[in-house]
Amino acid sequence: MNDSAGYAVFFFPPALEALGDAIKPYLQDGPAGPHVPCREIDTAGAFIELTLEGRAPDGREVALELMVPGNMVRMIVSAHSDGEFGFYDRSKPMAAPVLPASPAEPAVADAPPQDAKPAT
């Protein structure tokens, strides 16, 4: 996934409650619920390491690393750079689907000739 812009990490509701105020600065709300946007994720081990991009009070960029127990994470979604993430906007017009060409009429090999008499 070379065009990945990062990940969205969703937590179980009891995990958000247990993490409390400590996780709130990192949460973003979205159509699928609150999540933590991350640049990188390391899932090797009991803790999941989340690397976030942040800004220091003086304006310079910093990399933040959060480590949370793996059993708190409900789902990790790769967020692609196409600008669309989560559920699609139903108010936007959908592109017309491309339908395959209609197949030719199937040949019926076992059909009797039209002038044949039915068997009695």
54-91 pLDDT tens trace: 888 898 998 999 999 999 999 999 876 555 555 656 66
Q: From CA 73, how far away is CA 45, in angstroms rounded?
A: 13
Query: CA 23, 47, 67 angle in degrees (round to 5)?
Result: 35
Q: From CA 87, how far away is CA 94, in angstroms rounded?
A: 14
pLDDT of residue 55: 83
Query: CA 72, 28, 39 angle in degrees (round to 5)?
Result: 75
Which tokens sit at 43?
């899932």
List of residues 6+ apart from 64 with CB closer than 8 A: 26, 51, 52, 53, 54
pLDDT of residue 31: 87
